Amino acid sequence: MGIRRLRLVAVALAVAAMGIGGALAQSYPSKPVRMIVPFAPGGRVEAVARIIADALSKDLGQPFLVESRAGAGGAVGADFVAKASNDGHTLLLCSAGVLAILPNVDKKLPYDSVKDFTPVSRLIEGFTFIGTYPGLPIKSIAELVAAAKQKPNTLGYASSGIGTYSHLAGELVAIASGAPIKHIPYRGSGPALNDIVAGHVALMIGGELGDLAKAGKIRILATTNEKRSPEFPDVPTMKESGFPQFTAHSWIGLVGPARMSGAIAEKLNVTLARVMADPATQEKLRGLGGEPAYLAAAPFGQQIAADIGIYADIIAKAGLKFE
């Protein structure tokens, strides 16, 4: 077969594939869609999933059913979606912890965060805060750094567990500021929050601190986000506090299995762009402590890959070793 004929065949195949993809997208979804949340019921990720699933159900005319598949820090649910049919009827709604942090913590993951998923869109950025026990005479990041340097490794920061966002964000605080603070891991955020409120531990980083701060049980020193929280407009960012190199993203987004039809991914993306522009949806998401931050498929995929590198760098600089 000549080169000209090969080219004509290639063009014909491409056109046919486009036609098939377009037909798939036009009929999608043709049955209920399972939206997998890789955590136990009751958390923020599940709450976001239910808001988004409800909106997609109304817009696309098929039920989007939220299903929790918890285990192994999110790996069980993520692996389930990675191995699911690529017809777009099984999706994963998860956090940066599952796709960007976990690959750096567990080298035996049965999936690849970049190769085994099709990015659809980022939905929200979670606001996370650095908070202290209010009985401490520390009211700013500068005072925190000074106190930590004066008495190295006496100020402890709580996390919801080894290798979690709150752990690595704390390591980044220490790296960026030079403050010698001590990591104190807990089994979940609940016990950690109880101990900081009681004054048994000095510091914590997380998105769960907002309500406690409003109740006067925690003092917030800074937000780790790029911009200030609308709920705490007087609280500076870490960059405003003198640490422009501080980068530790926390987000929630939607992905599908690898090789999912680009036309289906685009249909979901366009629908989500419309959903995320709705003021009512935005208000509901802000009520969960997150900032609506829609990002299209391609840049979202780039962020996942970049954030894997960011957390790998934090782990390397902190000299952390995971079993």
For residues 128 and 158, the answer to whether their CB atoms sit within 8 Å is: no
pLDDT at 23: 61
Whether pLDDT at 3 is above 90 = no
Whether pLDDT at 179 is above 60 = yes
pLDDT at 36: 98
pLDDT digits (tens, 9 = 90+) for 37-60: 999 888 889 999 999 999 999 999
- Give the residue range(s) of CATH 3.40.190.10 domains in the chain: 129-223
- Give the residue range(s) of CATH 3.40.190.150 domains in the chain: 32-126+250-318
Mean pLDDT of the chain: 91
Nearest residue to 207 via CA among 140, 259, 160, 163:
160
Q: Does 315 or 247 have the greater pLDDT score?
A: 315
pLDDT at 43: 83
pLDDT at 188: 84
Q: pLDDT-based confidence at 238, cuts 50/70/90?
A: very high
pLDDT digits (tens, 9 = 90+) for 281-312: 999 998 888 899 999 999 999 999 999 999 99
Provide the token pair at 94. Answer: 């998860």
Q: pLDDT-based confidence at 149, cuts 50/70/90?
A: very high
For residues 47 and 220, the answer to whether their CB atoms sit within 8 Å is: no
State mean pLDDT over 253-277: 96
129-223: what fold?
Answer: D-Maltodextrin-Binding Protein; domain 2 (3.40.190)
State mean pLDDT over 187-198: 91
Q: Does CATH place domain 32-126+250-318 in 3.40.190.150?
A: yes
State mean pLDDT over 173-189: 91
- DSSP 8-state assignment for residue 237: B
Residue 126 to residue 210: CA distance in whole angstroms: 11
pLDDT digits (tens, 9 = 90+) for 18-35: 555 556 678 899 999 999
**Amino acid identity for residue 156 in this structure:** G
